[in-house]
Chains A and B, each alone.
Chain A
C-alpha cells in the first residue's frame, strides 16, 4: 500500500517542478519592422501549421486543393492543416501558456470576434503584423466592420480574411411574408408553431443581440462599451418576450438545440421553417449540395443584423511566424480572394477594397457569378449593425440559460 500512498505526492512534486521552467528565448520582435523581402526569405521552405474549422467540404476543397499546393509552389512552404475552432484554439493556448511552451504546435489560426476577444485576454496573439503584409494595402482599414472586432480595435493583431452578415433563412415555398421585426415574429409564431427556435450557441446569441438592439429602439442602441444598466433593462424585456412566446417554439420551448449545425439539420429535414446564420445565412452551398430546399431564401432583420469579419491570427509562440505571415499574405492576394468568392466553392465575400485593385482585377471581381439562392451581402448591407461589446455575449449566454432554458 505504501507505493499507492506515495503516488499523489510524487505527482504533486513533479507538477511543481514542471510548472517552473524555461524562460522566453525566441525573439521575433524584429519581424514586426523587418522589410518584407527579409520576411519572405525567412518564410521560404518552412512548415506552417494552420488550425482551422474543417467542417465544410467547400472550405476544405479550397484549402486542400488550392491553397496548400499554391504556397508550396510559390514559396516552398509546407502548409499543414489541423482541425479546431474557437474553443479548441483557446484551450490549446491556455494549455501551452500553462506549460510554458516556447515553441508552440500551431502557427496561425482562423478566428472570429468571439475567439479574438478570448485570445487577447490571454495575450495569445502575436503582433501587430498586418501592416507588414504587402497585400494589406488593398484592405480598407477605415471600414468599421473590418478595423473593429466586437467593439475592440483590431490594431494589426489579426488580418481580416472574409466579411459577412448575419441573415434570416426561410423556406419560401412554405412561409409567406417571413417576419422582419419582433411583432411580426409573434404573428409568425402563432401561425407556424414549433418551427422556430434559438440555438444555445454563438449563432443564437447573435440573434438575441439583434433582438435586443431592436428593443433598444435603434440599430446602434448597443454600440459603445458594455453598459450594465442598459443590459439589465433590455435583457429583462428580451426574456419577457422569449418566455412569453416559448410555447410556440420548437418543442414548445422545453429545450433548445445545442448548436447551429443542429438547427441546420432541423431545417434541412423540414422540422424548422425559419433559421438564421452568418455568411448571409450560408444558403448557397447548402442548397447546391442538396441539403436545403431550392426554395430557401435569406434576408436581414429590419432593425439590422450583425455584420462582421473573420480573421487570421498568428499565435504568440508560433515557431514559424514569418512563414505564417507569408501564407496570410497569400490568402489576402487578389488571386486567392477571387477564388474564395466562387459561388460554387467557398463563396465568401472578399475583404479587399476592389476599387484599389488594378483594372483587370477589378473586372474579374465585378464579373464574379452571382448567387442563385442566397442573398448578396450588398442587398443586406443597409440593415447591418456592428457587433456589440463582448460582455453582452457573456451575459446573454449566462442569462439565456438561467432565465429561459432552466425555467
Chain B
C-alpha cells in the first residue's frame, strides 16, 4: 500500500508537525538557560547555567519532593486505573448504565479548583488535611471518574461474549480477568495509567488546598515560579515538570506502542 505518487506532500506536513511538537521542548530548555533577553533581541545576551544554579541552591529538598510526587502519582494512577477498570465493568453492564454514566460526568462539571474548595471542609473534618494520604484520596476522586469513563467503550457485546465463553468453558472470574479481560484491555490500561499519572503529577489547585502547601510535591514546589515575573525560572520549572513524564513515556513506549497505534 505504498503511496504511488513520487512527490508526496505528506512527508513535509509530517516533518513540520514533528518540528512543531518538538519546538516547545527545545524553546523551554533554551529559555531556562537564558537571561537578559528582551524585545527586540532575537538571542539572549546571557546563556548558561546561572538560573539552574540559583534554583537548585535555593530550593532545598527538590529530590525529596520528586520522590514524594512519584509516590503519590504512582499510587493514584495504580489505584484509579485498577478500580476504574473493575468498577466500569459493573457500571457498563448494568441495566441502568446510561444513568450511571451520566453521574460519572458530574465531577468534571465542577473544575478541580472549585471542587477542592468545596470539598476541603469534609477533608478537614476527616483529618485528611495537610498529609499525603489526603492528597492521594483527593487526587483519586478526580482521577477515578476519568478512568471509569475511559473504559466505557471497552465493555461491548464482543467482550461480553468472550466472558460468557469462558464461563461456559468452566473458567472462574479470576481466570476471566487474567486470561481474557486484562490481555484484551492491556493497551487501554496503559494509556489510562499514563493519563491518570499525569492528572496526578500536574495537579496543583487541589493539591495545594488539601495539602495546604505542606505536602511538597514537585509541582507545588516549582509551580509558583511559572506565575511569577521571572520567566527564566518559569521555563526552568516547566522543564522540571514535564521531563519526568517524558522519561516515563520513553521507558514505557515499548509496552505502550506494541499494543497500540
A–B in direct contact per CB < 8 Å: yes
> Is A61 in contact with chain B by the CB < 8 A criterion?
yes
In the bound complex, do residue A105 and residue B232 qualify as a contact, i.e. CB atoms below 8 Å apart? no
- Residue numbers in B under 8 Å from A18 (CB-CB): 121-122, 125
B interface with A by C-beta (< 8 Å): 35-36, 38-40, 46, 50-51, 54-55, 57-61, 96, 99, 103, 117, 120-122, 124-125, 129-130, 208-209, 212-214, 216, 220-221, 224-225, 227-233
Q: Which residue of A lies closest to B103 (CB)?
A: A4
20 cross-chain CB contacts under 8 A: A1-B99, A4-B99, A49-B214, A56-B228, A57-B55, A57-B59, A64-B58, A82-B213, A91-B117, A96-B124, A99-B125, A105-B214, A106-B212, A262-B229, A265-B229, A268-B229, A268-B230, A269-B231, A290-B36, A291-B230
B120's partner among A55, A95, A268, A269 (CB-CB below 8 A) is A95
- The residue in A82, A101, A263 that gathers the most chain B C-beta atoms within 10 A of its C-beta is A82
- Chain A: interface residue total (CB-CB under 8 A): 45
In the bound complex, do residue B229 and residue A60 qualify as a contact, i.e. CB atoms below 8 Å apart? no
> Is A80 in contact with chain B by the CB < 8 A criterion?
yes
**A173 CB, min distance to chain B CBs, angstroms:** 11
**With A95-B120, A95-B121 in contact, do A269 and B54 touch (Cβ < 8 Å)?**
no
**With A49-B214, A270-B38, A289-B54 in contact, do A64 and B59 touch (Cβ < 8 Å)?**
yes
Complex Cα–Cα for A106 and B212 (A): 9
Complex Cα–Cα for A251 and B43 (A): 26
**B110 CB, min distance to chain A CBs, angstroms:** 15
In the bound complex, do residue A268 and residue B213 qualify as a contact, i.e. CB atoms below 8 Å apart? no
In the bound complex, do residue B224 and residue A82 qualify as a contact, i.e. CB atoms below 8 Å apart? no
Complex Cα–Cα for A293 and B50 (A): 17
- Residue numbers in A under 8 Å from B224 (CB-CB): 54-55, 83
B232's partner among A61, A262, A291 (CB-CB below 8 A) is A291
Given A55-B228, A82-B213, 5 extra CB contacts under 8 A:
A57-B59, A61-B54, A98-B124, A265-B229, A286-B229
> Is A51 in contact with chain B by the CB < 8 A criterion?
yes
In the bound complex, do residue B96 and residue A290 qualify as a contact, i.e. CB atoms below 8 Å apart? no
In the bound complex, do residue B229 and residue A99 qualify as a contact, i.e. CB atoms below 8 Å apart? no
In the bound complex, do residue B209 and residue A60 qualify as a contact, i.e. CB atoms below 8 Å apart? no
- Residue numbers in B under 8 Å from A293 (CB-CB): 36, 38
In the bound complex, do residue A92 and residue B212 qualify as a contact, i.e. CB atoms below 8 Å apart? yes
In the bound complex, do residue B120 and residue A270 qualify as a contact, i.e. CB atoms below 8 Å apart? no
**B3 CB, min distance to chain A CBs, angstroms:** 45
- Residue numbers in B under 8 Å from A291 (CB-CB): 35, 229-232
> Is A178 in contact with chain B by the CB < 8 A criterion?
no
Give residues of chain A (26-79) contacting chain B, Cβ–Cβ below 8 Å: 49, 51, 54-58, 60-61, 64-65, 68
B35's partner among A64, A99, A105, A289 (CB-CB below 8 A) is A289
In the bound complex, do residue A64 and residue B214 qualify as a contact, i.e. CB atoms below 8 Å apart? no
**A118 CB, min distance to chain B CBs, angstroms:** 16
Complex Cα–Cα for A264 and B225 (A): 13
**B94 CB, min distance to chain A CBs, angstroms:** 12
Complex Cα–Cα for A61 and B40 (A): 32
- Residue numbers in A under 8 Å from B50 (CB-CB): 289-290
- Residue numbers in B under 8 Å from A68 (CB-CB): 60
A247-274 vs B, Cβ < 8 Å mask (1 yes, 0 no): 0000000000001111111001111000
A60's partner among B35, B36, B58, B130 (CB-CB below 8 A) is B58
**B233 CB, min distance to chain A CBs, angstroms:** 7
In the bound complex, do residue A261 and residue B58 qualify as a contact, i.e. CB atoms below 8 Å apart? no
Complex Cα–Cα for A91 and B59 (A): 26
Q: Which residue of A lies closest to B55 (CB)?
A: A57
In the bound complex, do residue A51 and residue B212 qualify as a contact, i.e. CB atoms below 8 Å apart? yes
